[in-house]
Amino acid sequence: MPTEATFLLAGLLIVFAATGWAFAWFGDRDRDSELPARINADYIKGLNLVLNRRTDEALELFLQMAKVDDDTLETHFALGHLFRRRGEVERAIRVHQNLLARPNLGQAQRDQALYALGEDYLGAGLFDRAENLFGDLTASDTVAISALERLVYIYEREQEWEKAIHAHRRLQALSGKKSSQVAHYHCELAERARRDGDLKRARECLKNTVSSEAGALRGALIRAAIAEEDGDHALALDLYEQVLDKDSQFMPEVLPALFDCYAETARLPDFERYIEKLVARDPSAASSIAYAAIIGDLTDSEALTRCVEEFVFGDETLAELVDVDTLRTATTEHKRQALERISSALRSLGLASARYRCANCGYSTRRFIWHCPSCKQWETLRPMQRFQLDSVIG
């Protein structure tokens, strides 16, 4: 919901618009001095009504003012914006339709009013109408880029990835700005084709993902999943390792599948060496490997067990929950059983809590996603890779 601050800010917009109008009126024009005084009083009255939340009366007053003089245009845009931000979309639509009904509206002003009406339709959830309006405005001299941005937003929301690709291409051509998100649209199409069992189409879509780093990374993950489905575990294994080489934060997503690939190709000793190599190269990787092993319930690897042991013994909060000193000196079998119990409890805790958080808006979720459903940004979800033990010990 819009905050009180938004409401006051929009009210201030009206004051600025009124002030701008007053300067224009008194500075440049030579008109009957009684008229501006009357309209100026109307502005103040309208503003008071808005600020006192008597919105219907304010709306009627401002709509009447539009018939009086063209200089009230900006005020109307501000008012329409105010209504939309407050969720009063029908009133916003009325303001903008009223503007569009004016016969002497210039092309730029008409496009601006149509764009604002499109925003109203979006606010009302009327996506088809908004899409049509923004589609028409892609030919505008003034708001084409904004209209294409809104079209991309609509197609992302509706998951119409082909249309999103097309609109995004036009946007890039017009604005000259490059963005990696189009690679995700191709990835979305590839994943959809893979789910439908159309692996040929999935591979076709993946050809377009290599143009950006993120697209290449996500594309490699999809290729690996396809290779696994095809029974080509050696290829899947290579692809998973490429992903971890580029970005180790995918450890919890990739490690269980990578372990399976080593097992399927009868190369489990190589898996041990691979994990040892990762830890030797970067000792801090051990804790994210341990986290992934615990969450993925990977118990049949000595290298992973060593990471888990180090993780459990080294965590200060965990030390408060388990008798670490006794555990250190316990027999191998007793230690193994204790670690399994602790890992099992941590896994339950980990799977029951949010494991990923959006670096942009703070949205958190249990499973990894590429597109934040809250702020609509791509690639902003980050794994937290920690067990929320604080909530257990209070």
Q: Of the two residues 72 and 380, which places its CB atom closer to Zn ion in the complex?
A: 380
The verdict on 365 binding Zn ion (CB under 5 A) reads no
The verdict on 381 binding Zn ion (CB under 5 A) reads no
| Residue of 19, 107, 348, 374 interacting with Zn ion (CB under 5 A) | 374
Nearest Cα neighbor of 82 from 17, 167, 157 is 17
Query: Which stretch in 184-192, 254-262, 356-364, 382-390 sits in contact with Zn ion by CB under 5 A?
Result: 356-364
Q: Of the two residues 190 and 372, which places its CB atom closer to Zn ion in the complex?
A: 372
208 has which bridge partners? none
List, edge to edge, every strand of the sheet that includes 356-358. Answer: 364-365, 356-358, 381-383
Query: Which stretch in 19-27, 77-85, 316-324, 367-375 sits in contact with Zn ion by CB under 5 A?
Result: 367-375
| Residue of 358, 378, 379, 387 interacting with Zn ion (CB under 5 A) | 358
Smallest separation (angstroms) from Zn ion to the CB of 380: 5
- Name residues contacting Zn ion, limited to 237-296 (CB under 5 A): none
Tokens linked to 210: 């290599």
Nearest Cα neighbor of 386 from 340, 354, 362 is 354
Q: Of the two residues 35 and 375, which places its CB atom closer to Zn ion in the complex?
A: 375
The verdict on 115 binding Zn ion (CB under 5 A) reads no
The verdict on 372 binding Zn ion (CB under 5 A) reads yes
Query: Which stretch in 184-192, 277-285, 288-296, 358-366 sits in contact with Zn ion by CB under 5 A?
Result: 358-366
Phi and psi dihedrals of 97, rounded to 5?
A: -65, -35
Alpha helices in 207-267 (DSSP H): 213-230, 233-246, 251-264
Tokens linked to 135: 């589609």
Smallest separation (angstroms) from Zn ion to the CB of 385: 18
The verdict on 234 binding Zn ion (CB under 5 A) reads no
Distance CA 236, CA 368 (A): 20
Distance CA 278, CA 106 (A): 65
Q: DSSP 3-state helix, strand, coil percentages of the chain (rounded to 5)?
A: 75, 5, 25
The verdict on 361 binding Zn ion (CB under 5 A) reads yes
Query: Which stretch in 53-61, 93-101, 202-210, 372-380 sits in contact with Zn ion by CB under 5 A?
Result: 372-380
Q: How many residues does the chain have?
A: 394
Q: Of the two residues 6 and 360, which places its CB atom closer to Zn ion in the complex?
A: 360
The verdict on 375 binding Zn ion (CB under 5 A) reads yes
HSE, CB side, 13 Å, CA atoms: give it for residue 358: 17
Nearest Cα neighbor of 288 from 264, 311, 266 is 311
The verdict on 378 binding Zn ion (CB under 5 A) reads no
Neighbours of 55 (CB within 10 A): 16
Q: Of the two residues 79 and 358, which places its CB atom closer to Zn ion in the complex?
A: 358
How many residues contact Zn ion, by CB under 5 A? 7
The verdict on 363 binding Zn ion (CB under 5 A) reads yes
Footprint on this chain of Zn ion (rule: CB under 5 A): 358, 360-361, 363, 372, 374-375
